[in-house]
Amino acid sequence: MRKRLWLKIVVGVVALGVVVTVAVPFVYIHFIKDDAPPTVAKQGLPTRTSEHPTDPATGGAETYALTMSDDVTKNYVGYRVVEVLFGQDTEAVGRTTSVTGSLTINGAQITAAEFTVDMATLKSDRDIRDSKFKGQIMQTSTFPTATFALTRPIDLGSVPADGTEITASATGDLTLHGVTKSITLEVKAQRNGDIIDVLGSTKVAFADYNIDNPSNGGVTTQDNGTIEFLLSFTKS
């Protein structure tokens, strides 16, 4: 009789543990944790009203400098990684506005473009994740910046009219965690007067850049993440 009673108690404790293991992450993800911000593709380019429309026929090289606001929802560079917390899927998103860069347009070609990110300033919704990101994962004290630099001109075919959204492929060198690789990513851009807005994203396999998989304990991640950006350049 006692053995049966103890067996029921043990089974009950185990069942309770299973319920807690599943229920707590579920409650946290669905009722406590803030929803991840929309992807840059869903967010889209900002809507602007141009006070000084650009003449599409205007030629000659034009240089634009990256201008970042302090509002991380309006322009940013960031990462997006799928996490599994005790069987429950969620997204980890970190962003920063500490970015510098420039681009050059000559007629119907983008001849140069680059931006540099201060990696230590990326911030998510959890301090513990940010600490691990800057330390074990990205080692920002050793690799403080990440960069992208265009290595092949982007031919637009013709000079886009002011306010016209374009889509193009951008090939360049991505340097991340001290490793440089050539990548090609799809970007969308739109010029409104003296401002050019550009957005894009690309998948990054951690192993390609010697980045340790951030999985630990009850949290596991995929073997890749997404880099996404929404940048505004102002004519110099």
- Domain span at residue 98 reads 33-235
Task: Specify the 3-state DSSP secondary structure of 66.
Answer: strand
| Residue 86, phi then psi, degrees to nearest 5 | 50, 50
Q: Name the DSSP class of 138.
A: T
Reduce the secondary structure of 151-205 to three states and give it as a string.
Answer: CCCEECCCCCCCCCEEEEEEEEEEEECCEEEEEEEEEEEEEECCEEEEEEEEEEE
Inter-residue contact 103 to 97 (CB < 8 Å): no
Domain contains 101? yes
13 domain residue, yes or no: no
| Tokens standing for residue 56 | 């599409």
**Residue 24 neighbours by CB under 8 Å, 6+ apart:** 86
Residue 14 neighbours by CB under 8 Å, 6+ apart: none
Which residues, at least 6 apart from 105, have a Cβ–Cβ distance to it below 8 Å?
Answer: 61, 62, 64, 111, 196
Report DSSP letters for 4-29, one per residue. Answer: HHHHHHHHHHHHHHHHHHHHHHHHII
pTM over 0.85: no
- Residue whose tokens read 């997006």: 80
Residue 139 lies in a domain: yes
| C-alpha pair distances (Å), 154 with each of 20, 38, 71, 220, 228 | 54, 27, 29, 38, 19
Per-residue tens of pLDDT for the chain, all 236 residues: 554 544 444 444 443 343 334 444 444 433 344 578 999 999 999 988 765 555 554 557 899 999 999 999 899 999 999 887 666 678 899 999 999 999 999 988 999 999 999 999 999 998 988 999 999 999 999 999 999 999 999 988 888 888 889 999 999 999 999 999 999 999 999 999 899 999 999 999 999 999 988 776 667 788 899 999 999 999 98
Report the domain count for the chain.
1
Contact 115, 98 (CB under 8 A): no
Domain membership flag for residue 2: no
Domain membership flag for residue 5 = no
- At 39-70, the pLDDT tens digits run 999 999 998 876 555 555 455 789 999 999 99
Nearest residue to 191 (alpha-carbon basis) of 163, 169, 168, 166: 163
CATH number at residue 191: 2.40.128.110
